[in-house]
Chains A and B, each alone.
Chain A
């Protein structure tokens, strides 16, 4: 039981796919200008990693080794297209903001990485939790980055104005740089910095 819990908790912290494994950075830059698309993107990736891990784990004994990457891609692509269609039908404005990045979930390294590293050698239940954990770890970073970018870049959170009008009258201005992709990298960098400062065992030893 403790082991299962670890599968979900660890990717949020010590094996975080974004800050520790440094996977899925591109989409992290692209969809974090605002909180809402970041939440939807995080949710979509979580669903895809969890379900694709589960499905591949179920099929793992029957998958011919020589076409295993193709089979993985087909499963992931199918799930991504399904999610894209659902977003277009029921969350149209968000799907417009995410545009091509939903489709690009297919190429998100986290998913293929977890399939190869975990789902092919573990049971469906464990794989599902592992996918869930990694998806949530990704979402966590996305949401943190989006929070700061939307707050300082647009003065809003989830579209609601949070920085009061009196601030603007006193000369406060939104920081346009926060909306541009490079700032996402810098915010991710700060998160990694804080994380490593608090967990000294994660720092590489440069003396070797």
Chain B
């Protein structure tokens, strides 16, 4: 039988078979690689948390071990700052003292996020870590550098038990991203304020 390469029947058949082969191939690969990808994402989060809390030399290899060693608990907080099963605010406790809270916000081109480590007194920032999806390299992208992150250490966020807006040196040429970082920190701290005030007056974390 001589096949007609340009008949409708042949074209439909060809396209269908091609798509089925491709679909199977992609599904199999996706399933096979899923565990590796999940592990990478988890590790990235661990590295961020540990780095924010000031633990040095964390990389993808030692992250699971160090996290196991240093992270003494992870909780969910409700709006009034109590640990509760159905809270919405995640909290990681490092070495029984440091609270690490996740932040999410918007930069100029896309989402930015990070972690803020707060000392046991509930009012001193120990460290911060930022990451971004698509800020401009050399401008907004600078929020991931040590120079930018370093300036947050030692800042006070509570004054007489009340939240004070964060102040830091913005990046020249990256006003929108810098504003985004400020907004992100202020919004996050506002949500966590009841909890921070609580540990500030108690001087302890569970």
Contacts and interface: CB of A to CB of B under 8 A. Distances in A.
Do A and B associate with each other?
yes
Contact of A85 (B10, B15, B30, B136): B30
Q: Quick one: which of A65, A71, A78, A100 has the most chain B CB within 10 A? A: A78
B26 A66 contact: no
Nearest to B43: A92
A71 B14 CA distance: 9
Interface residues of A, number: 26
A185 interface: no
A33 interface: yes
A65 B6 contact: yes
Interface string A80-119: 0110011011101100000110000000000000000000
Contacts of B96: none
A85 B30 CA distance: 7
Given A64-B14, A74-B22, A81-B26, A90 B5 contact: no
Contacts of B33: 85-86, 88-89
Interface residues of B, number: 26
Nearest to B11: A64
Contact of B138 (A71, A85, A180): A180
B16 to A, nearest CB: 12
A153 B136 CA distance: 14
Contacts of B41: 92
14 contacts: A63-B5, A64-B5, A71-B15, A74-B18, A74-B22, A78-B25, A78-B26, A85-B29, A88-B33, A89-B36, A90-B36, A99-B133, A180-B136, A180-B137
Given A71-B15, A92-B37, A92-B41, 7 more contacts: A33-B137, A70-B15, A74-B18, A85-B29, A89-B33, A89-B36, A100-B134
Interface of A: 33, 62-67, 70-71, 74, 78, 81-82, 85-86, 88-90, 92-93, 99-100, 153, 176, 179-180
